[in-house]
Amino acid sequence: MNTPIDISNVVLKTERLILRPFRQSDLEDFFEYASVDGVGQMAGWIPHKNREESQMILDSFVNHKKTFALEYQGKVIGSLGVELYNENNFPEFADKQCREIGYVLAKDYWGRGLMPEAVKEVIRYLFEDVKLDIILCGHFLRNGQSARVQEKCGFRHYAYGTYETRYGTIEDDETNIITRWQWLMDINRFRWTREPKDCVIENGVIKVITMPHTDLWQRTYYHFRNDNAPVFQMETDEQYFSFIVKTSFEESHQRFDQCGIVMYLDSENWLKGSIEYENEKFQHLGSVVTNHGYSDWATTEIPADMKSMWYRLSRREDDYCIECSEDGIRFKQMRVAHMHEGKGKIRFGIYACSPEDSSFTAVFSDMKITECAWKAHDGQQPD
């Protein structure tokens, strides 16, 4: 469904741009770029013939409160509208909070990366502040520049169709979308705690070579405290979600070599799920939950020749579920746990370590964030 929006008091800033509501004083700048041949046609409208036409459109921008002016070095050089999408074309989005964006940039400023910069900031605003679920964005198939903007900003193909322009022609077009979960799952959001010496991140795949004598454990039974394993995490305040990752560890060969999923808040509060190598006969598939400085370990034995595993970490406020899967499709529950400090903003991601005198290459791939797959128990309040 189309979510109501009002940007009349919203000002967004990027490295080079200010995105703000249009003002009546923007008329000259608006007419200057909107009257140039080749600008409007890419969005389905013909160049403005006079200032009166520009004034009429400017009035609609001001009154409808959904279009940002793109200000660059004190001059308005384009617009970015948060438009109503056609609900009849996409009935499958009826239970989602959605809008469609469209944009125009003055011809003199093409090719400088300004529009991706503006679009990324509006995407952030719409997901973080407005709490949209899905943003749509379309382009004519002949408009390769707009297609590249959308690709750079994380949009993915959704549908092909046709569009009737304001001057009566029919254009073949493509609709792309980006979901809040796709936007959140950006590798650039992840940060290292104790960055490993050897690590490669390429095309969404992360390869970590572990260092000897690295581990996570606190006090219980063994009476030691280890807190030097590298963890790679992103931060969120989303209360209901699932995070999925595939791990591969062909080279693990020494007792306790491990890699897996983690939610590491600090040395005293964290949880992890992984396979720990034991010997040539078996390994331990298990999880560790650490609350207020004491670790709780639960394991089961699996064959030693298993060298890959998917994990899914799900959050419901301050309760968490860790699951595993051999194929990334059917997940089995490993652990349900409460984290005493796991409410509000958290960090989650991946880790790899070698507690003894060894090293191996851990490979992480197919990472994604989804709606919470761990549904409310029968009788509980819905999310």
Interval 25-52: pLDDT, tens: 999 999 999 999 999 998 889 999 999 9
203-to-179, 193, 228, 367 alpha-carbon distances in Å: 20, 21, 27, 11
Q: Is the CB of residue 331 less than 8 Å from the CB of residue 310?
A: yes
Domain identity same for 154 and 107: yes
- Name the percent of the chain lying above pLDDT 90: 96
Is residue 70 within 8 A of residue 81, CB to CB? The reply is no
Q: Which helix (H) or strand (E) holds 118?
A: helix 114-128
Same domain, 26 and 167: yes
136-176 pLDDT tens trace = 999 999 999 999 999 999 999 999 999 988 778 899 999 99
- Interval 61-97: pLDDT, tens: 999 999 999 999 999 999 999 999 999 999 999 999 9
Number of domains in the chain: 2
What percent of the chain has pLDDT above 70?
99
Q: Would you say residue 226 lies in a domain? A: yes
Asked, for residue 377, whether it belongs to a domain, the answer is: no
User: For position 206, what pLDDT does the model report?
Assistant: 98
For residue 383, is pLDDT > 70?
A: no
Residue 71 pairs in a beta bridge with 18, 76
| 197 plus 177 within the same structural domain | no
Q: Examine the domain organization and report whether 160 and 274 are in the same domain.
A: no
Residues 125 and 240 in one domain: no
Q: 69 near 21, Cβ under 8 Å?
A: yes
Residue 350's nearest CA partner among 330, 336, 339, 366 is 366
DSSP output for 269-313: EEEEEEEEE-SSSEEEEEEEEEETTEEEEEEEEEETT--EEEEEE
Do 266 and 161 share a structural domain? Answer: no
196 shares its domain with 130:
no
171 shares its domain with 260 = no
What do you get for the CA distance between the two ends of the chain, in Å?
19
Give the pLDDT score at 382.
66
At residue 377, does pLDDT exceed 90? no
Q: What is the pLDDT of residue 273?
A: 98
Q: What is the pLDDT of residue 139?
A: 96
CATH of the domain at 269: 2.60.120.200
Reported as a single tens digit per residue, the pLDDT across 202-217 is: 999 999 999 999 999 9
Q: What is the domain range of residue 218?
A: 187-370
Domain of residue 89, CATH code = 3.40.630.30
